[in-house]
Amino acid sequence: MPKSPTNLRVWDSGTGDALSVVWDAPNDPYISHYIVAYRNTVSGIEQSINSITPFTTITNLSQAVLYEVSVCAVDGTGTQSSVVYGSGTPLLLPRTPLSFEAVPTTSSIVLTWQSNNELDLAGYSIWRSNSQSDMGTEIANLAASAVTYTDSNVVGSLQYYYYRVTAYDTDSNHSLPTQVISSRPVSLNSGILVVDESKNLSGTSPFQPNDIMVDSFYESVLGQYSPTMVIDLEEQASDLRLADIGVFSSIVWHGNDSSDIDYPSSVRDALQSYISLGGKVLFSVYHPSQAFVLNASYPVTFSASSFMRQVLGIASADYASGARFKFALPAVEQVPMIKVDSLKTSAAFNGHIFKVEGITPVNANSLLYSYGSGYANETTQGFLNGKGVAVSNQYGSGKVVTLSFPLYHMELETSRQFVGYVMQSLFNETVANDDLLMPPVAGLQVMPNYPNPFVNETTFSISGADKQQTLSVEVYNVKGQHVRTLFNGLPDGKSSFRWDGRDSQGRAVGSGVYMLRATQLGQHGIRKVLLVK
């Protein structure tokens, strides 16, 4: 039996009716020729041709039909080798480039794709626009050998750039474009992003908060450090990328439900790149070791190269299901003691919450808070007393603060003081400016209402809404209960709204604080208003 051909390649000739077949000839002096067989996968018709060279062209094929191709070697006695297989489709137009990606840097966006295999390929065209639905303009024309392009003519802002690539042949025929990819450079210049990882639960118990309850708490905690944008991961269609987070100077990331907590692990690379390039993140989540590296057992010590140790500055973690957490005890003078809010836990827990990890920092000086409970150290409930629950770390050019407890369950005022310390002293954020004469920041926002407080009705506007996507504007009370939907549909230029202090049944509601909430495409803005009678 003769030796088999290897490395079979099937190339599209670009004429629409032919395939070029190439293989590596084996080192066998007894081979007399090769048999190239091909089958039309639509009609099932099989044919074959002979070749004395390790290449041939199959002609008179049907355009846009997949052909299965096989090659074997034949010696002088007619004995055939084992068969090698391939496939190809003859096309007139070039193929759409595959594996198209856009990777942001601090000053550019790097586009990459996989090389096409048409024999008449002449090159690639790069297209860019400011709209997902618009093909845009050709910004570059590249040789057939190119598989990357760096777009340096970009500005970091909340506006995305939308890219496509087409291949073109020697007859100037262009392929269909790649799928559109949005991107923007890492600029760290667009303020604070809030990432809401919490599920929208029933709101009927302390451990089942709904969206508006959580949003209201973090809006209050951030106070004058008003976020530019809020992204609700429950409404986000795809995983966050570096392009999505890289324009923001700081991120407040919170997860306040103790189940389904592993989302951060799926975007770990994007987070690591963001922090390395100078981004700052405050994480407030249950079980960081599970959330970031899918840890399944305790105690656990992290390797020197792990995300936990390098990026978060956490050397080890421990946990016991019976442990109960009540106090975040300061390890540095600049932060206040933070206590569990008695209204946000069950009476059965005696003012405590559970599912809080104890974490040990790589550098003891980076510890911000330690675990405190109302139980003695030798008890099951006090098992984690003295372990860390908040750690800061410098990674690359950025900073990260990781809490192993959810701020949502803590008392508001001391939580606000702590977040203010992080934002100002560690992250160097400046306070928001609510001056009505200042131009609005891009991104979905509920702008200040007037009058506020109000008696009969108040008027407000929504900034940053996409006119072609459904916008929902709703009113909630401070308990997270829905009061009224003011608008739900395509804004189509509409940006001003009013609320007359009535619920969905037309009944006047009582005096108090209410929340105006705008939601669109997984983003939302929220603003407190005060109704007085």
The angle subtended at Cα 284 by Cα 256 and Cα 513, nearest 5°, is 60
Cα 179 to Cα 294: distance, rounded to the nearest angstrom: 32
3 state DSSP class of 220 = helix
Per-state percent for the chain, helix, strand, coil, to nearest 5: 15, 40, 50
Distance between CA atoms of residues 158 and 36, nearest Å:
55
What is the rounded CA–CA span in Å between residue 184 and residue 231?
Answer: 17
Classify 308 as helix, strand or coil: helix
Q: Each residue of 116-142: b (16+ CB within 10 Å) or e?
A: bebbbbbbbbbbbbeeeeeebeeebee
CB 61 within 8 A of CB 19: yes
Structural domains of the chain ordered from first start: 6-88 (2.60.40.10), 98-183 (2.60.40.10), 192-426 (3.40.50.880), 445-531 (2.60.40.4070)
- Asked whether the CA dihedral 299, 303, 305, 310 is positive or negative, the reply is positive
Distance CA 44, CA 50 (A): 20
Identify the pLDDT of residue 443.
Answer: 66
Residue 350 · residue 342 · CB < 8 Å: no
Whether residue 214 contacts residue 254, with contact meaning beta carbons closer than 8 Å, is answered with: yes
Assigned token pair, 135? 């093909």
Cα–Cα distance, 166 to 12 (Å, whole number): 17
**pTM value?**
0.79
Tell me the two tokens of residue 285.
Answer: 């989540």
Residue 408's pLDDT is 96
Number of H helices, E strands in the chain: 7, 33
pLDDT computed for residue 476 by the predictor:
87
pLDDT for position 432: 61
Amino acid at 28: D
Q: For residues 164 and 96, what is the distance between their CA atoms, to the nearest angstrom?
A: 10
From first to last of the 533 residues of the chain, give the pLDDT tens digit.
Answer: 999 999 999 999 989 999 999 999 999 999 999 999 999 999 999 999 999 999 999 999 999 999 999 999 999 999 999 999 999 999 999 999 999 999 999 999 999 999 998 899 999 999 999 988 899 999 999 999 999 999 999 999 888 999 999 999 998 999 999 999 999 999 999 999 999 998 888 888 889 998 888 988 998 899 888 888 889 998 888 899 999 999 999 999 999 888 889 999 999 999 999 999 999 999 999 999 999 999 999 999 999 999 999 999 999 999 999 999 999 999 999 999 999 999 999 999 999 999 999 999 999 999 999 999 999 999 999 999 999 999 999 999 999 999 999 999 999 999 999 999 999 999 999 876 444 334 444 567 888 888 888 888 999 988 888 887 889 999 988 767 789 999 999 887 777 899 999 999 999 999 888 889 888 877 778 888 888 87
